[in-house]
């Protein structure tokens, strides 16, 4: 390496290898290419030959009038790359993880009661026939599988195996696919929905399982708006300003209800948690804990089980 420019060219080549490796592991890294290119260009312009904590922090905080979370995201992109690059160049500094701290405020999940889910389905059922069929199927599917909304919208007809009662979720959040065993009633409901589609739609414009009134794949923005309308129709009110009924909260509800059922049935919850993680499409049980909320029902089931174990001791 005879010049600063050649150093940065090597750094760019290392960034290409780094991104290819992370993506092969399933990470999407949507903005990381652009951020790393901007950072390397910043180092080049500043005449800095390697990654330093000072340079990384200065670059990360360049944008003005933005949320601190964006500064942290920029620094995190550099930090992860620096961790990789240090294996090739010991002079690389890895910015400390506690730099530019930003505490994300988790929205309190809205855990739906069975009665509220029934009310949502009833509200959806009062819509126009094809819309009613789609939204009762979507809400019901999310409630009984805990799928991500985007996964449900992305399903194709061929992803449903009616004979074996399996639903294949392809290329989910981490680029992986998984199969979800379905209860026979869920399989029958999906099969009935497809017959309704064939009856009401003269022409399908997509391979999607769940479709709009004109036979196209659903858009999340439209689904979100419709769901908010359904919550109002069903008279489901927010518990607090930070706990509002969202479509995604059906996923939280599924996770909590599953654990509550296991507690009541006397199952070894800790041993079975990896099964729930796999079903939800998580890479490890740690991600599943994010979805667990201490509802009165869950705490009551756990307390009842604890009392039973004490009586048997």
Q: How far apart are CA 85 and CA 16, in angstroms?
A: 11
Report the candidate in 41, 44, 101 with the shortest Cα–Cα distance to residue 75: 101
Q: Is 183 a catalytic residue?
A: no
Catalytic residue among 74, 79, 251, 252: 251
Q: Which of 148, 178, 224, 264 is catalytic?
A: 148
Distance (Å) of CA 128 to CA 131, 149, 158, 234: 5, 22, 26, 16
User: What tokens does 207 get?
Assistant: 């391979």
For the question of residue 248 being annotated catalytic, the response is yes
- Which residue of the set 12, 173, 178, 244 is catalytic? 173
Between CA 201 and CA 286 the distance in angstroms is 43
50-59 contact pairs (CB < 8 A, 24+)? 50/7, 50/89, 50/91, 50/92, 50/93, 51/78, 51/81, 51/82, 51/85, 51/92, 51/93, 51/94, 52/93, 53/93, 53/94, 53/95, 53/96, 53/99, 56/82, 56/93, 56/95, 57/95, 57/99, 57/100
**Could you confirm whether 251 is annotated as catalytic?**
yes
Instruction: Look up 282 and say whether it is catalytic.
Output: yes
Contact 272, 235 (CB under 8 A): no
**Is residue 62 within 8 Å of residue 33, measured between CB atoms?**
no
Question: Would residue 148 show up in a list of annotated catalytic residues for this protein?
Answer: yes
* Cα dist from 170 to 208, 236, 258, whole Å: 13, 32, 23
Maximum separation of any 2 CA atoms in the chain, in Å: 77
Given 22, 248, 264, 305, the catalytic residue: 248
Residue 42 appears among annotated catalytic residues: no
Residue 145: name the closest of 174, 180, 93 by CA.
Answer: 180
Positions marked active-site: 148, 173, 248, 251, 282, 291
């Amino acid at each position: 390496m005879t010049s600063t420019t050649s150093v940065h060219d090597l750094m760019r080549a290392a960034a290409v290898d780094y991104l290819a490796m992370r993506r092969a592991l399933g990470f999407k890294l949507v903005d990381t290419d652009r951020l790393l290119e901007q950072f390397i260009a910043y180092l080049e312009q500043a005449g800095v030959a390697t990654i330093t904590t000072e340079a990384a922090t200065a670059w990360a905080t360049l944008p003005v009038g933005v949320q601190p979370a964006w500064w942290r995201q920029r620094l995190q992109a550099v930090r992860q790359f620096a961790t990789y690059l240090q294996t090739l160049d010991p002079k690389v500094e890895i910015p400390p993880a506690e730099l530019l701290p930003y505490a994300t405020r988790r929205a309190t999940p809205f855990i739906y009661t069975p009665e509220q889910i029934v009310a949502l389905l009833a509200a959806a059922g009062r819509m126009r026939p094809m819309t009613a069929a789609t939204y009762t199927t979507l809400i019901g599917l999310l409630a009984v599988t805990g799928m991500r909304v985007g996964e449900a919208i992305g399903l194709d007809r061929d992803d449903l195996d009616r004979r074996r009662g399996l639903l294949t979720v392809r290329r989910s959040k981490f680029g992986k696919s998984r199969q979800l065993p379905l209860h026979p009633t869920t399989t029958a409901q999906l099969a009935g929905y497809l017959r309704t589609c064939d009856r009401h739609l003269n022409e399908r414009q997509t391979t999607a399982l769940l479709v709009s009134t004109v036979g196209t794949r659903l858009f999340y923005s439209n689904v979100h708006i419709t769901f908010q309308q359904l919550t109002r129709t069903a008279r489901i009110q927010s518990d607090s300003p930070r706990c509002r009924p969202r479509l995604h909260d059906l996923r939280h509800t599924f996770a909590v209800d599953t654990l509550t059922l296991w507690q009541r049935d006397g199952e070894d919850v800790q041993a079975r948690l990896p099964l729930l993680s796999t079903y939800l499409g998580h890479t490890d049980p740690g991600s599943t804990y994010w979805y667990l909320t201490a509802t009165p029902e869950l705490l009551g089931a756990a307390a009842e089980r604890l009392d039973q174990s004490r009586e048997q001791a």
